[in-house]
Amino acid sequence: MIALGAVLPHPPVLLPEIGQGRERAAQATLDAYSVVAARIRELGIRRVLMISTHGIVTLNRFHILSERLCGNLSRFGVPGVSVEHAIDPELTEALIGSAAESDVPLTAVNGWEESDHSLGVPLRLLDGAIPDRIAVVSISFRPPEDHLRIGEAIGAALEQFDEPTAILASGDAVHTLSEASAYGHHRRADEVQRQYESALADWSPDSLCAIDETLRREVDESVISPTLILMGACRDRAVNPHILASEHPWGVGYVTSLIELG
């Protein structure tokens, strides 16, 4: 049973070991993470599906991790920060079966991108609220509509379980909002950022699918695909999205949202 959804940004600088104090520039995002963690605890979430944007991302397929998640954040200058978590075998098996029934190309793999900060950052910031086992699915370079389709297959699988389940969609929004960004500034970055936030607040997958894919690549965003998977999973449910925080202290959009389900 899907009880909760969330959209979570994942800049490594949010972690104090990496930020070394700079993380305070994104305090609104850190506070929003605390709200999400509290809600996970309040609802007694027993199962969690995490949607990754920096794991195994390929042109034609989605991927799901079947073995223990093991990695680290050494490429961000902190070799001592590990990322490890057990995988929920029942949930993983159900997701694979549902995708096959829906003819969605989902491939199980026993290894993952070692430095996947789209998992590492949320897992660290939500430490203590996350169950002992999780399931992990990646986005792909397939069309937006296919992200909705795999989301629908995920939703069907999660409804097989009585335990309250959360879907955590990890993604940073537009990366080119100002010259403060390492990616530079794109003249249409603000436009795409506004379109994304409006579609999220209105819970409109059609609006997200309508955003030009070439423009999405140009402004360098990584949040639309995981959000579409989340929307697909909740498609037949009454939802109440709350944008808890939206900020861009370093020219990259961080949107933290809590999705309450009726």
Whether residue 38 is predicted with pLDDT greater than 90 in this model: the reply is: yes
- Domain ranges in the chain? 2-261
Task: Report the percent of the chain where pLDDT is more than 90.
Answer: 97
Residue 154 carries which DSSP code? H
CA nearest neighbour of 3 among 48, 51, 57: 48
Whether residue 262 is predicted with pLDDT greater than 90 in this model: the reply is: no
What's residue 78's pLDDT? 87
What's residue 79's pLDDT? 83
Number of Cβ within a 10 Å radius of residue 247: 17
What's residue 236's pLDDT? 87
- Strands (E) across 35-127 are located at 47-52, 62-65, 69-73, 78-87, 106-109
19: β partners:
none
For residues 220 and 64, give the distance between their C-alpha atoms in angstroms, rounded to a whole number: 24
Whether residue 142 is predicted with pLDDT greater than 90 in this model: the reply is: yes
Averaged pLDDT, 182-190: 97
- The CATH class given to the 2-261 domain equals alpha beta
Tens-place pLDDT, residues 45-55: 999 999 999 99
Q: Which helix (H) or strand (E) holds 237?
A: none
Tens-place pLDDT, residues 66-78: 999 999 999 998 8
Contacts of 81 (CB under 8 A, 6+ apart): 15, 17, 18, 72, 73, 74, 120, 124
Length of the chain: 262
What's residue 80's pLDDT? 83
Averaged pLDDT, 89-95: 98
Q: Which helix (H) or strand (E) holds 186?
A: none
Contact in structure between 3 and 114 (CB atoms under 8 Å): no
pTM here?
Answer: 0.98
Contact in structure between 5 and 238 (CB atoms under 8 Å): no
239: β partners:
261
